[in-house]
Amino acid sequence: MSAPKPGQETDGELAIADQVAVYQREFPTVDPQVETIVSTLSRVARRMSVAYGRQLTVLGITSAEWEVLKALVVAGSPYRMGPGELAKRLGLTPAAMTHRIDRMVTEGLVTRERDEANRVRVIIELTEEGRDKWLESMRMAAVFEEELLQDIAQAERPVLSTLLGRMLRRIEETQPDALGRTDDLD
């Protein structure tokens, strides 16, 4: 796929260079290099999100469900966690987490059991089916990600990783509550 030429739209959007030119016209002191980088990163992130969403649809799970599966996998074997801890890790309210878990129990992705040591406590555990879906999503993502990076040489990838890591650290330092939640923007 070739890059759009100046003046050429991509999926209804202006080409990045044309978008930046509009920004410069309307806000003359804007740094075009910064805007080009940020606009490109924004489009890459949006398109990656769409691609991952399509892959998850093929597997019959949502990105919200995948986030729960990931949190349980990251917790490590035996892939168990309380719903309150899951909600906190995912930036959800307890009610939203309960609703999500209800769906996932119905779909056979997780189980919900009372903790035998503390009957008040509930434990959410990844099922074999849930782990299989997570692993398959990772396989699909690995293929997509390798294709995504095919034009970036192996020697360039550590540099890109370092640069993006610096950007991520900067935003995490200056916007510590910016974990992808937008509930404060309503």
All structural domains of the chain with their residue ranges: 10-59, 63-131
Specify which residues 124 forms β-bridges with.
81, 112
Q: What is the mean pLDDT of residues 1-27?
A: 77
Q: Quickly name the fold that domain 63-131 has.
A: Arc Repressor Mutant, subunit A (1.10.10)
What residues have CB less than 8 Å from 134, skipping those under 6 apart? 66, 69, 70, 73, 126
pLDDT of residue 17: 95
Q: What is the mean pLDDT of residues 93-113?
A: 95
pLDDT of residue 5: 54
pTM of the model: 0.79
The rounded percent of the chain whose pLDDT value lies above 70 is 89
Report d(CA 19, CA 74) in Å as an integer: 39
For 70-100, what is each residue's pLDDT tens digit? Answer: 999 999 999 999 999 999 999 899 999 999 9
